[in-house]
Amino acid sequence: MDLAKHWRLRHARYRLEGQRNRLTGEVRFPPAPPRPGEAEDVWEPYVLSGRGRVYSFSVVRQPPEGFEDQPPYLVALVRLDEGPMVTAQLTDCDLDQAAIDMPVEMVTRRLRDLGPTGLIVYGYKFRPIVQR
Amino acid sequence: MMKPERPVGIIGYGAYIPRFRIAAREIARIWDGAGGTPVDSKSVPGPDEDTITMSIEAARNALARARITPDRLSAVWVGSESPPYSVKPSGTLVAEALGATPWVSAADWEFACKAGSEALTAAMGMVGSGMAQYVLAIGADTAQGRPGDALEYTAAAGAAALLVGPAAEAVAVIEGTTSYVTDTPDFFRRADTTYPVHGHRFTGEPAYFNTLRSAAERLLHDLGAQPSDFTYAVFHQPNTRFPQTVARQLGFTPQQIAPGLLSPRIGNAYSAAALLGLCAILDVAKPGDRIFVATYGSGAGSDAYALRVTEALPERRERAPLTAAYLARETFVDYAVYAKWRGKLVME
């Protein structure tokens, strides 16, 4: 059931928590262990703003296993304001509405339902920005 | 009337309404065809939404308005009758998504449509006693009605989050609350059944009207207040007519309830219904305005609250999307899409 895997990823998935380098200020996502030669604590947890722009996108009509009930759906590369690029679904977005450079914001949604004896997996998606 | 020794109030609030709607006449097209409908349309959660995801967004809006960091929350409480898991709290996941874990109390509250206000009253006690500085009380639901049942026209989805803290930091100070509860079987769902059962006309006078009026009249009496002392009022809204009727019975005017009456457009958002109405009122209220709130939960009970808006509200409300922004993004779906998304098609 991969319970441990889903549990380990919860901070990154639920709240887009990456890392920031204490020395250089560089922000990265997803979080990773220190590189060879780096101090153990040089990367600190850092919650990204969730704001970004669509770098590119595609419509998925032939879904991978586990996503059979979802097509057609949008998958995008999103360039986050802090710099990192993430791959994620677009939600609350019509297929003909998606566009390169479209401003988007992160929302936490259901990614997958692993069935009556499995977990509901939650994580980040992006949507067109709701007006403030 | 109950009120804590240490004055408390709402320091941040947040609404969430899914973008999808189904028109009541579309439901009538499938099932009935004749007669009036209890609302014009209702909100429908998207296929990747549930009580947890909606709670998270409403709560993020409340935190953004309050501008406090999530690690300062002492409790994250979710009131709902539609938790995604039967066993596994929604509150823990919401708290984790907000960044409030691990030093936080998290729990789920249950009381039909007033589960959210149960959490609000408890939050008043927690902050009012000094045990906590900030507590998040959320009402959220993705309600289900049996296909073709009267309930299907109204059972909707939404979330509202109220961040309770010291009165000195509040956008609206809570003057006091009453809670009126009896064992009244107007609506229930047995374990392991999909759809609830309701008592048809029994849900009206002995249940909704008597219960809500009792809580409201007691609060007005204990405050020494008249309905005319309030700028706005909001009541639990299972349809359009019930809140209009109870407002008239209590002596509130259509103008007082207009900004908070969302049910004609989004249906009955259950635990979020009255609290979303309160959010919509806070979106337009001015310092000094008084707001009257009465929730209702089948089973049955009502919590009534009186609030007074402070000078802090106008600036803070701009920090997150207004309820009107969520109301405005209306995407209508037909009954077939609605049936697929709401799990009404038997797949195996």
Reduced to 3 states (helix: H, G, I; strand: E, B; else coil), residue B299 is strand
pLDDT digit string, tens, across residues B266-303: 999 999 999 999 999 999 999 999 999 999 999 999 99
Please enumerate residues of A whose Cβ is less than 8 A from a Cβ of B: 10-11, 14-15, 17, 47, 69-70, 89, 91-92, 94, 107-111, 120, 122, 125, 130-132
Q: CA-to-CA distance for B118 and B124, rounded, in angstroms? A: 10
pLDDT digit string, tens, across residues B68-82: 999 999 999 999 999
Give bridge partners of residue B78 from the DSSP assignment.
B108, B138
> Quick one: fold of B8-171+314-340?
Peroxisomal Thiolase; Chain A, domain 1 (3.40.47)
Residue B206 has pLDDT above 80, yes or no: yes
Q: CA-to-CA distance for B305 and B293, rounded, in angstroms? A: 5
B56 touches chain A (CB under 8 A): yes
Amino acid at B222: D
The residue of chain A with its CA nearest to that of B102 is A11
Domain ranges of chain A: 3-128
Residue B7 has pLDDT above 70, yes or no: yes
Say which of A14, A131, A132 has its CB closest to residue B96: A14
pLDDT value at residue B346: 87
Q: How far is B217 from chain A (nearest CA, A)?
A: 37
The residue of chain B with its CA nearest to that of A112 is B48
Angle at B169 between CA B78 and CA B132, to 5 degrees: 50
Q: Is the peptide bond before B206 cis (omega within 30 degrees of 0)?
A: no
| Token pair 């709902």: residue | B80
| Token pair 């958002």: residue | B269
Q: How far is A108 from chain B (nearest CA, A)?
A: 6
Distance of CA B47 to the CA centre of its chain: 21
The arithmetic mean of pLDDT across residues B27-52, rounded, is 91
pLDDT value at residue B265: 97
Helix and strand numbers (H, E) in chain A are: 2, 8
pLDDT digit string, tens, across residues A56-104: 999 999 999 989 889 999 999 999 999 999 999 999 999 999 999 999 9
Residue intervals in chain B for CATH 3.40.47.10:
8-171+314-340, 173-311
The arithmetic mean of pLDDT across residues B9-29, rounded, is 97
Give bridge partners of residue B86 from the DSSP assignment.
none
Give bridge partners of residue B142 from the DSSP assignment.
B157
Angle at B92 between CA B88 and CA B94, to 5 degrees: 115
Task: Look up the CATH superfamily of B173-311.
Answer: Thiolase/Chalcone synthase (3.40.47.10)
Is B183 exposed, middle or buried, given 0-12, 13-18 or 19+ CB atoms closer than 10 A? exposed
ipTM score assigned to the predicted complex = 0.97
- Mean pLDDT computed over every residue of chain B: 96
Question: Following CA atoms A110, A17, B57, B88 in sequence, which dihedral angle do they give, to the nearest 10 degrees?
Answer: 50
pLDDT value at residue A69: 87
pLDDT value at residue A132: 77
Say which of A94, A109, A131 has its CB closest to residue B48: A109
The residue of chain B with its CA nearest to that of A91 is B48
Say which of A15, A70, A110 has its CB closest to residue B97: A15
Helix H or strand E segment including B43: strand B41-44
Q: CA-to-CA distance for B264 and A30, rounded, in angstroms? A: 43
CATH class of A3-128: mainly beta
B17 touches chain A (CB under 8 A): no
Contacts of A69 in chain B (CB under 8 A): 47
- What does the block give as tokens for B10? 């709402």
Residue B229 has pLDDT above 90, yes or no: yes
Contacts of A132 in chain B (CB under 8 A): 318-322, 325
